[in-house]
């Protein structure tokens, strides 16, 4: 693994590090750049402007350059027609990966974001980057949005999914996608923040054998709730705005799907070590 380049370090992550007006400040920062016309239609320049804000003004909870490269390499290899991200924030991953999907010949990048203000920031920056033809920003809770897109026929399968939203919802949303047959053999998953802050229930699930998954479903009805292994800070990250998380504890997914999963180490844009879990659905067992 390459060293972290400290010149590129984001500002320190404060106690309150999002939803305090900085997302709108970012928009003003980007659009008031003297060379904004040069930035237009350039995903790389929009990303550079977002990075500049986070390095010189305020921390932003973006995937960042280093972990981002793990996923853009994956996009170049998988060549997804349809990619979905869970959690868009201000659009950094959406612009980086939407551009990579377009370059790889893909058709659609869905960015699912619950906070309508953040979703508006994503849409504005996606438009500036000239990615409006491929990116669709969907406002709402990820599980509702997945169900609605599926019911409308707008989403029939997911070639590549980037999970980067509420940490306890990674497993329940993956199971929902399995039940709707959106995730199936051939699908690939990239899950962010599996070291910082960590996601033991998700790692356990994607690394389990078919038998282990069947047993886990049989032995506990509450295994999908907000697991006690999450730190309180992680479990309550969106509490102030969204209230208590409502996760479907009864969701069983499709335990017959066979996954191959590996951890790829890297760094947060703040320099803190983290990793992306890359999971490939390689088949389905007989029931
Ligand atoms: C870590 S940020 C995403 C960062 C973004 N992927 C990037 O790298 O540029 C997490 C985002 O997930 C959103 N979020 C949290 N829970 C969600 C849910 N259940 N459905 C949709 N979005 C959610 C938050 O509002 C926040 O914007």
Nearest residue to 47 (alpha-carbon basis) of 113, 99, 123: 99
Best probe residue, ligand 1, of 54, 67, 87 (max atoms within 8 Å of C-beta)? 87
Contacts of 272 (CB under 8 A, 6+ apart): 196
CA atoms within 13 A on the CB side of 36: 11
**Confidence bin at 12 (pLDDT 50/70/90):** very high
Counting atoms of ligand 1 from 1, which one is nearest the CA of 94?
9
In angstroms, the CA 167 to CA 164 distance is 7
155 close to ligand 1 (CB < 6 Angstrom)? no
Take atom 6 of ligand 1 and give the residue whose Cα is closest.
88
State the distance from the centre of ligand 1 to the C-alpha of 104, rounded, in angstroms. 25
Mean pLDDT, all residues of the chain: 95
Best probe residue, ligand 1, of 20, 146, 166, 268 (max atoms within 8 Å of C-beta)? 166
Q: Is it the case that residue 17 has pLDDT exceeding 90?
A: yes
State the distance from the centre of ligand 1 to the C-alpha of 87, rounded, in angstroms. 3
237 close to ligand 1 (CB < 6 Angstrom)? no
State the distance from the centre of ligand 1 to the C-alpha of 211, rounded, in angstroms. 32
Give me the percent of the chain exceeding a pLDDT of 90: 91
The answer to which of 23-32, 83-92, 234-243 has the lowest mean pLDDT is 234-243
Task: Name which CATH class applies to 6-284.
Answer: alpha beta
State the distance from the centre of ligand 1 to the C-alpha of 285, rounded, in angstroms. 33
Take atom 13 of ligand 1 and give the residue whose Cα is closest.
87
Nearest residue to 171 (alpha-carbon basis) of 258, 93, 241, 86: 86
Counting atoms of ligand 1 from 1, which one is nearest the CA of 90?
9
pLDDT tens-digit readout, 176-185: 999 999 999 9
Q: What is the three-state SS of the chain?
A: CCCCCHHHCCCCCCCCCCCCCHHHHHHHHHHCCCCHHHHCCCHHHHHHHHHHHHHHCCCCCCCHHHHHHHHHHHHHHHCCCEEEEECCCCCHHHHHHHHHHHHCCCCEEEEEECCHHHHHHHHHHHHHCCCCCCEEEEECCHHHHHHHHHHHCCCCCCCEEEECCCCCHHHHHHHHHHHCCCCCCCCEEEECCHHHHHCHHHHHHHCCCHHHHHHHHHHCCCCCCCCCCCCHHHHCCCHHHHCCCCCCCCCCCCCCEEEEEEEEEEECCCCCEEEEEEEEEEEECCC
Return the sign of the alpha-carbon dihedral for residues 284, 153, 74, 12.
negative
ipTM of the complex: 1.00
Domain boundaries, the chain: 6-284
114 close to ligand 1 (CB < 6 Angstrom)? yes
Please give the residue that has the higher pLDDT: either 4 or 244: 4
pLDDT tens-digit readout, 184-234: 999 999 999 999 999 999 999 999 999 999 998 877 544 445 788 999 999
**Confidence bin at 260 (pLDDT 50/70/90):** very high
Q: What per-residue confidence (pLDDT) applies to 246?
A: 82
């Amino acid at each position: 693994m390459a060293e972290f380049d400290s010149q590129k370090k984001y500002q320190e992550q404060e106690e309150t590090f999002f939803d305090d007006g900085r997302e709108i400040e970012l928009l003003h920062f980007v659009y008031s750049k003297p060379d904004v016309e040069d930035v237009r239609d350039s995903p790389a320049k929009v990303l550079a402007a977002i990075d500049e804000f986070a390095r010189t003004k305020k921390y932003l909870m973006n995937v960042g350059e280093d972990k981002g490269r793990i996923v853009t390499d994956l996009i170049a290899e998988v060549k997804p027609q349809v990619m979905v991200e869970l959690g868009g924030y201000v659009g950094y991953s959406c612009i980086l990966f939407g551009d990579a999907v377009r370059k790889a010949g893909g058709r659609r990048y869905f960015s699912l974001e619950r906070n309508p203000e953040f979703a508006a920031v994503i849409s504005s920056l996606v438009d500036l980057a000239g990615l409006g033809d491929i990116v669709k920003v969907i406002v709402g809770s990820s599980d509702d949005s997945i169900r609605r897109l599926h019911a409308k026929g707008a989403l029939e399968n997911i070639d590549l999914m980037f999970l980067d939203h509420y940490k306890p919802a990674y497993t329940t949303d993956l199971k929902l996608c399995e039940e709707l047959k959106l995730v199936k053999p051939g699908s690939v998953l990239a899950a962010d923040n599996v070291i910082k802050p960590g996601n033991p229930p998700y790692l356990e699930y994607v690394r389990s054998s078919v038998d282990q998954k069947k047993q886990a479903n049989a032995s506990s009805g509450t295994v999908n709730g907000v697991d006690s292994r999450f730190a309180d800070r992680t479990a309550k990250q969106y509490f102030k705005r969204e209230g208590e998380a409502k996760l479907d504890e009864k969701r069983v997914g499709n335990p017959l799907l066979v996954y191959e999963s590996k951890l790829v180490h890297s760094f947060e844009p703040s320099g803190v070590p983290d990793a992306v879990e890359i999971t490939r659905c390689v088949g389905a067992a007989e029931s």
